[in-house]
Amino acid sequence: MQDEWQERPLAYAFAEDPLAAEYPDAENGIDSVAVAVSDGRVVVATGGDEQGVAIWDLNSGELLRGTSYDEPYVSSIATVAGEGPPLFVASSGVHWDGVRVWGLSGEESPVELDAGSIWGLATVSIDGRALVVGGGEQGVEVWDAANGEQVASFHVDEEERAYAVAVSQLDGRPVIVAGTAAGKVYVFDLSGDNGDEPIREPSTGHEGCVNALDVAVVGDRPVAVTGGEDGTVRIWDLASGRQVGPPLTGHNWSVEAVVVTTMHDRAVAVTAGRDGVVRVWDLTL
C-alpha cells in the first residue's frame, strides 16, 4: 500500500502510573520517533515533552515498554545501528541529563551513558561496534552503546550548543556533521586523526540555530542538508565546506526536521517546519 495515510492508535503509555492520575487530560505527547523491525514486526519508540520513553508494536498498538510518567522532556530518540535485538537511545536536554540505551524488555535496566544535556542523537556501526553520537552543551560526544564507554569528544566554539548531528564518510573516513545554536555546521573526523578539532573552520550561512540535519551522497559528492530557525534549507559540500547553491526557501517559520531519501531514483530532502508544512526538495546537483 502506497501514498495512503493510516492511523495507528497507541495505548496511553502511562495509564497505570499513579502520577498520571493527577493529570487526567494528559496524552501521548510525541515529539521524537525511532523505528526498528523485530521478528517481522515494526517497533516504534517515542518520547516528548509530556512523556518519557515508550515503545510499542506499531501493528497491534501493544505497549511493549514504558518508563516513568515523571521522566518527560525527551529531546531526541534514535535506533541503535548494528546487529542483534532492537535497541533505542534517548536523550534529554531539560528534565534529566544524560543518554540512556533501551531494549524492548522492561526487565532490563537501560544502559546509562555519562553525559550532560544532549539535544541531538545519531548512531552508526563501525567495524561491528555500535556507536552513539550526541550533540549537547559541551559539543559532540561519542559512546559505545554496548558498555556506555565514552570513546571520543569534540568541541565547538565556546557558548555554542550542538543541536543536530549525523554521521557520514569523507575520503573513506567516518565523519560527524554537527549543527549548532549559532547557525554553524562543523565536520569532525571520527577516526581521531584530527584530534578533537574540526577538520576545517565551520561553515556559516544560517541566521539562528541549525535545528535539524541529514547527510547523503549525491552523485559522488558527500553533502549535508540543514534546516534552520531562519526557515531556510541549505545544502553543504562536506569536502569543501561550501554551500551548494542558494538557500532553499518556502517554509515561513523554523525548519524542525530534515530527512534525505530517494524518490524516483533521485535524491530528495523531506523537511517539516513549525508552519505545519512538509516540503520535498530535489537534491540533484
Asked if pLDDT for residue 45 goes beyond 80, the answer is yes
- Closest C-alpha to 250, from 272, 224, 265: 272
Tell me if 245 is assigned to some domain: no
Helix (H) or strand (E) holding 36: strand 32-38
Tell me if 46 is assigned to some domain: yes
CA 281 to chain centre: 20
Give me the domain span that covers residue 79: 18-116
Tell me if 283 is assigned to some domain: no
Number of domains in the chain: 1
pLDDT at 92: 80
Q: State the CB neighbour count (10 A cutoff) for residue 257.
A: 16
Contacts 24+ apart (CB under 8 A), 179-182: 179/120, 179/135, 179/206, 179/209, 179/210, 179/211, 179/212, 179/213, 179/226, 180/156, 180/209, 180/210, 181/209, 181/210, 182/157, 182/209
Tell me if 138 is assigned to some domain: no
**pLDDT band at residue 52 using 50, 70 and 90 as cut-offs:** confident
Asked if pLDDT for residue 70 goes beyond 60, the answer is no
pLDDT at 1: 47
CA separation, residue 152 to residues 1, 176, 227 (Å): 43, 11, 26
Q: What are phi and psi of 21, to 5 degrees?
A: -65, -25
CA separation, residue 151 to residues 21, 110, 146, 193, 285 (Å): 42, 19, 12, 14, 35
**pLDDT band at residue 121 using 50, 70 and 90 as cut-offs:** very high
In the block, cell 554551500 appears at 243
Asked if pLDDT for residue 26 goes beyond 80, the answer is no
pLDDT more than 70, % of the chain: 88
If you average pLDDT over residues 154-175, what whole number do you get? Answer: 91
Tell me if 272 is assigned to some domain: no
More confident residue, 185 or 17: 185
pLDDT more than 90, % of the chain: 54
**CA 116 to CA 171: how far, in whole Å?**
32
- For the segment 188-203, what is each residue's pLDDT rounded down to a tens digit? 999 877 788 999 999 9
pLDDT at 7: 74
Cβ pair 161, 183 in contact under 8 A: no
Tell me if 86 is assigned to some domain: yes
- For the segment 243-269, what is each residue's pLDDT rounded down to a tens digit? 999 999 999 999 999 999 999 889 999
Tell me if 110 is assigned to some domain: yes
Tell me if 103 is assigned to some domain: yes
CA separation, residue 86 to residues 45, 102, 111, 136, 262 (Å): 10, 9, 14, 25, 25
Cell of 34: 525511532
**CA 237 to CA 222: how far, in whole Å?**
6
